[in-house]
Structure 1
Amino acid sequence: MLAGIKEPYPLIITIPHASNRVPDRIRPFIGLSELDIYNSWDLGSEELYSHLPVMYTFVGSWSRIVVDLNRSPRADGPRGVIPLVDYGGREIYRPGFVPDQEEKEWRLGTYYWPYHTKIEEVVSQGKVVGLMDCHTLNGIGPKKAPDFGRKRPDVVLGNNGGPKGEETPELGQVTCEPRLLLHMADILSSLGLSVKINDPYPGGYVAVHYGRRLRKRGGFGIQIELNQDLFTDPITGEIQQDKVMGMEELLREFLKKLSQVL
């Protein structure tokens, strides 16, 4: 890695669940309500992460119920790359309108591969030292989550490992050196945020797939989740722009401090 790098930092930021948009050609097949569709995205993720001073930012354009950019292209089943149920376990499609194989391939070619091809090109060029796959999460673990009913920390960092970033037999190779991940957690803690590592989420496809490749050449990949309670109204759940701006400044400071050891 580099010592004392400056803006724009040689990092990739990915925001795969930034949108709740559904293409017009697909919307008639969807059985979910507008509220269910709205709740399927990572609220506030584009506002929080997309303006940070990094070399490359890739923002998802469509809802994860259409195609989940944070899944392997080979991931099948109800929660695969073309999901059949939403995060709450509700069936996405009206009876008789479940996507067939031809439709799945069309969606991969239209929505999935263009996004990942861009990331692939940047990773292959060797110009970046790390990737941060960026998300937001509910303040309390929802029903289908591994931490159902638990109050969540301000930040969850994931490197596909255990509670201290260590490699585990179940998950295999980590995507970021444990020492670096713990340093990231220390920086965030120094900024007044509570942090957990790999709990409840150790990292999805984007962080693992590209992170392992980056790590082979001395880089890293992580998943970062910010608690939506940090930037939403406690009554209405709506985004509060002043809080978003405050969180963005914290993230800028985090990157500045992190750059001193990269």
Structure 2
Amino acid sequence: MIDNNKKLPILISVPHGGLTIPSFIRDKCLLSEKDILLDCDTWSNYLYDFKNDVEEFMETDISRIVVDLNRSIDDMPPTNPDGIIKTKTVDGKTVWNTFSGELSEIEIKEIIDRYYKPYHIKLERASNNPHVLLGIDCHTMLDIGPVKNSNSWEKRPIFCLGNRGSLTGEIKHEPISAPSELILKFKSLLEKKFANFISLPLGEDVPLVTINDPFSGGYITKHHGQKGLIPWVQLEINRSLYLPSSDLLSIEPSQLDLARMKEIKTRLYKVFQELIDEFTTTRKKVR
């Protein structure tokens, strides 16, 4: 636990940190341990380990390759190879050694019933906790990643916040999952707490914090945010902020890696603290 005070009234979701391939499909997976590590939100289960510091905490040990908890249940292959059940990794590697390149309908149903549905049921229950005021769906992103609906790649910001809205958090094409005032405050706090972070991998064309670009929030943010129980924000952290070079990357982080992630966690916790203080103060004024 970072702070000995009362737990923060936050629900943290870490849906992409797992590395496990279930035994009933393990022999069909073509990927190495390192392939699986790099295709998930690498080490996010360490980076966002606030389970003792917040009211509600959700994570999974199942790999994103097996089931993507941040996709709609209708987002299936072969229409989308990067949907709820992956058939290709982000760099185009084939995932499953089957005749069709996909898992069977029976296997997919078992995965969804065993892992996907329970995660979302637990998220909804946690959202109903009267002591929870905010949901944060926590992810990591490649420093250079593919542009949506394009064959090109682009540099990513250090942090990206998503509420399904515009570049300033306002309503764009659909209801937003959190008020624009909340997400703008979140942005300013990240900028304040990380402006002097040691070895911040910033270039002139790489912003510290963006809103809804390149990610505006996935299914978790949209689905649970639109239920209106609590506001939801998707948080993405650039992996260049904490990952070592690829030749030093291992399945488990080293002590040096853990120390760096601990420093990020400490600053992030302070952001969460101040964000909640501001949020509760604003709510009291409105009442």
Q: TM-score, normalised by structure 1?
A: 0.88
Deviations 1:139-158 (A, max 9, x none): 22257786954322211101
How far did residue 123 of structure 1 move?
A: 1.8
Match of 2:217 in 1: 203
Distance in 2 (CA, whole Å) between partners of 1:143 and 1:256 is 33
1:20 pairs with 2:31: no
Stretches of structure 1 that go unaligned for 5 or more consecutive residues are 1-5
1:249 to 238, 241, 266: 266
Match of 1:107 in 2: 111
How far did residue 184 of structure 1 move?
A: 0.6
Match of 2:164 in 1: 160
Q: Write the letter of the residue equivalent to 2:93.
A: R
Stretches of structure 2 that go unaligned for 5 or more consecutive residues are 196-207, 280-287
Q: Write the letter of the residue equivalent to 1:227.
A: N
How far did residue 245 of structure 1 move?
A: 1.0
Distance in 2 (CA, whole Å) between partners of 1:21 and 1:129 is 31
1:192 pairs with 2:191: no
How far did residue 210 of structure 1 move?
A: 1.0
Aligned residues: 252
Distance in 2 (CA, whole Å) between partners of 1:125 and 1:248 is 24
Distance in 2 (CA, whole Å) between partners of 1:125 and 1:8 is 13
Match of 1:46 in 2: 45
Alignment of 1:1-262 (within 5 A): 7-51=6-50, 53-77=53-77, 78-96=81-99, 98-142=102-146, 148-169=152-173, 172-193=174-195, 194-213=208-227, 216=228, 219-234=230-245, 236=247, 238=249, 239=253, 240-262=257-279
How far did residue 90 of structure 1 move?
A: 2.5
> Among the aligned pairs, what percent are the same residue?
30
Q: Write the letter of the residue equivalent to 1:250.
A: R
**CA contact under 8 A between 2:147 and 2:154: conserved in structure 1?**
no
**CA contact under 8 A between 1:8 and 1:54: conserved in structure 2?**
yes
Distance in 2 (CA, whole Å) between partners of 1:129 and 1:19 is 26
Q: Write the letter of the residue equivalent to 1:174.
A: I
SS at match of 1:249: helix
How far did residue 83 of structure 1 move?
A: 2.0
Distance in 1 (CA, whole Å) between partners of 2:34 and 2:246 is 17
